[in-house]
């Protein structure tokens, strides 16, 4: 569990998404990845995080959700990875191909796709992070 500050918890999806990506970057860095870039944007999609190890480039799709616990009841069994649906992954693949063509026009590096989910608990100000490695488009 990662902790985040109370002042960052705003009911704004952009703010929550940015917080999730910040947490994801810290998580990946702690796992030994180097952050190469963030928010690579084309009109047909976006790559949230691009990171690497010595041997591999990874494209990361981050999904962040908030979870409120009221009166002892968890207000959501929703899992953020449910937002990684086939259409989204298809668009993600197109953006990856654009990135590779732009940055590596001659020799394509070894690369892979990861999903990273961040579940923010508003009450405890903590985040649960899960890495889904080797996603297939």
pLDDT of residue 27: 97
- Tokens 């910040």 belong to residue: 22
pLDDT of residue 40: 97
Half-sphere exposure (Cβ direction) of 67: Cα atoms closer than 13 Å: 19
Q: Rounded to an integer, what distance in angstroms lies between the CA atom of residue 23 and that of residue 121?
A: 13
Mean pLDDT, residues 109-132:
91
Q: What is the DSSP string of 107-125?
A: SPPPEEEEEEEEEEETTTT
pLDDT of residue 38: 97
User: Phi then psi for 93, rounded to 5 degrees?
Assistant: -60, -40
pLDDT of residue 8: 47
- At 42-91, the pLDDT tens digits run 999 999 999 999 999 999 999 988 876 544 445 455 566 666 677 877 89
Q: What is the DSSP string of 86-103?
A: HHHHHHHHHHHHHHHHHH
Delineate the domains of the chain, giving CATH numbers in brackets: 2-132 (3.40.1350.10)
pLDDT of residue 67: 73
């Amino acid at each position: 569990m990662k902790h985040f500050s109370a002042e960052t918890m705003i009911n704004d999806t952009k703010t929550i998404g940015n917080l999730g990506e910040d947490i994801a970057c810290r998580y990946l860095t702690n796992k030994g990845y180097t952050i190469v870039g963030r928010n690579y944007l084309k009109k047909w999609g976006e790559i949230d995080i691009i990171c690497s190890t010595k041997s591999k480039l990874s494209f990361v799709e981050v999904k962040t959700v908030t979870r409120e616990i009221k009166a002892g009841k968890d207000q959501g069994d929703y899992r953020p990875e449910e937002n990684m649906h086939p259409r989204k992954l298809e668009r993600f693949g197109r953006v990856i191909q654009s990135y590779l063509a732009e940055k590596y026009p001659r020799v394509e590096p070894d690369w892979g796709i990861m999903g990273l989910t961040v579940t923010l608990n508003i009450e405890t100000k903590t985040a649960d992070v899960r890495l889904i490695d080797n996603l297939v488009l």
